[in-house]
A and B are shown apart, each in its own frame.
Chain A
Amino acid sequence: MIKTDVVIIGAGPVGLFAVHQLGIKGLKSEIIDNLDKAGGQCIELYPDKPIYDIPAVPECSGKSLTDNLLKQIKPFGSTFHLKERVQEIKDEKGTWVVKTNKNKIFHTPNIIIAGGVGSFEPRKLPLKSLTKFEDKSVFYSVTDKNLFKNKKISIFGGGDSALDWALEFSNYSKVTLIHRREEFRGTPHTLKELEKLKKKGKISIKTPFQIKSVNEGEKLKFVEIENYDEKTENIETDVILGFFGLIMQLGPIAEWGLSMSKKTIEVNTQNFETNKQGIFAIGDICSYPGKLKLILSGFHEAALASVECFKRARPNEKYKFQFTTSSKEIQDRLGIKK
């Protein structure tokens, strides 16, 4: 069990800046994110796209914005819990108990949800009958290559992940690569390799095909694929792998009893608290009259929420507003030596 002043859900730019605003007030925070790195959408969706509306930064990329925020919050030594998703929260006598999908438990007076549009999850194949095979014979990522040895594998997708794993598994398994159009998206080298394997008959490529159905019963035996002319084919299959990138999903947040409107959490604009005391929502995930989904708005929301977090975490201390330019206390917390 980890005790902390604030649990921050989401390590995007707004979650990162919350660490800063809490840190200069002397509050400790723990930050949880489902991705394997900090940065949220800025890193996952547009690391190289230029951003032009960060105050006093005429132009930066999602990557450089993230790097600079990480540098800015370094003095506060917050722990990052990456590749982890908050599964449930409950109120135990005025303390929030936060539990992740890896069974890590936090006790805290404050939770700041800076979850953007939700957590990133793999996109799945559009076939309900596949759910029962998931994690047994249907996978959306590869964690253990041995599961895919000497098997008949149907790989769906046309991007880098689909191609790389198709090449890898063709070394020791019978691979069919199925994609909805003729063109694949990969490095020239990968595409050349694919062409070579195809010529040698080491890999079977089916385009433009999509999944239509799978066999009934408990064991996966074949997939039926269909092209745009409704021509179908059955492919003998032990394992299905699908690679369609990541999608953002609100996930368990929707079940915490917070008042929501259109996939966002309603907050007041004084301290960005939700309908539950001690739970705050900031950044793209919150809504209030006039809300703009801008990074700079999220920074403002983080600053105001941190004040209320302080009052809740230090009920016996008086909050005093201070500037970083003049406060010795803040400068000490930032580790500034003069």
Chain B
Amino acid sequence: MPKITYIDQKGISQTFNVENGLTVMEGAVQNNVPGIDADCGGSMACATCHVYVEESWFNRLPAAEDAEKDMIDMAYDPKKNSRLSCQIIVSDEIDGLIVTTPEKQT
């Protein structure tokens, strides 16, 4: 099972095995990772599962759709490497992915 690492703003890092086909957001929610609210439950409508993807990984992920970019406009403190974790689907290709949660989601 792929491993996904979630790091919070204090630098505390947690790594979990997340099943293929789930999203990085679902992996966080199932493991009670703080800092990912996911208010809308993954329908790309709230931008509260916003994460920063570590630079080396960012370009290896399938690019964000326009609708995701539009939603990231609404997120708290978006950066160049911002993504919505509900749109990153876990697969063997992203085994080892590292994401950082923002200071807050709203």
- Closest residue to A116 on the B side, CB-wise? B39
State the Cβ distance, B87 to closest chain A Cβ, in Å. Answer: 15
B22 within 8 Å of A (CB atoms): no
Q: Is the interface of B mostly helix, strand, loop or mixed?
A: loop
Tell me the bound Cα distance from A293 to B69 in angstroms. Answer: 27
How far is it, in angstroms, between the C-alpha of A338 and the C-alpha of B74 when the chains are bound? 53
Q: With A247-B48, A249-B106 in contact, is A49–B43 under 8 Å at CB?
A: yes
Interface string of B26-68 (1 = CB under 8 A from A): 0000000000000111010110100000000000000000100
Counting residue pairs across A and B whose Cβ atoms lie within 8 Å, the total is 45
- Say yes or no for B70: interface residue by CB 8 A criterion: yes
The answer to whether the Cβ of A180 comes within 8 Å of any Cβ in the partner chain is yes
Q: A181 near B: Cβ within 8 Å?
A: yes
B73 touching A158 by the CB < 8 A rule?
Answer: yes
Q: How far is the CA of A117 from the CA of B43 in the complex (A)?
A: 14
A198: CB under 8 A from chain B?
no
Question: Could you tell me the dominant secondary structure of chain A's interface residues?
Answer: loop
Bound: A158/B77 CA distance, A: 14
Q: Does A245 contact B (CB under 8 A)?
A: yes
Q: A49-B43, A247-B48, A248-B39 are known; give 10 further A-B pairs, CB within 8 A.
A: A46-B45, A126-B76, A126-B77, A157-B73, A181-B69, A181-B73, A228-B80, A247-B46, A248-B46, A293-B41
A180 and B77 CA atoms in complex are apart in Å by 10
A contact residues vs B (CB 8 Å cutoff): 41, 45-46, 49, 117, 123, 126, 157-159, 179-181, 183, 185, 210, 228, 244-245, 247-249, 293
- B78 contacts which of A41, A46, A180, A293 (Cβ < 8 Å)? A180
Q: How far is the CA of A157 from the CA of B70 in the complex (A)?
A: 10
CA distance in complex: A328, B80 (Å): 64
Q: A228-B79, A228-B80, A247-B48 are in contact. Are A45 and B73 (CB under 8 A)?
A: no
A247 touches B70 (CB 8 A): no
B77 CB contacts on chain A under 8 angstroms: 126
Could you tell me the distance between the alpha carbons of A313 and B17 in the complex, rounded to whole angstroms?
51
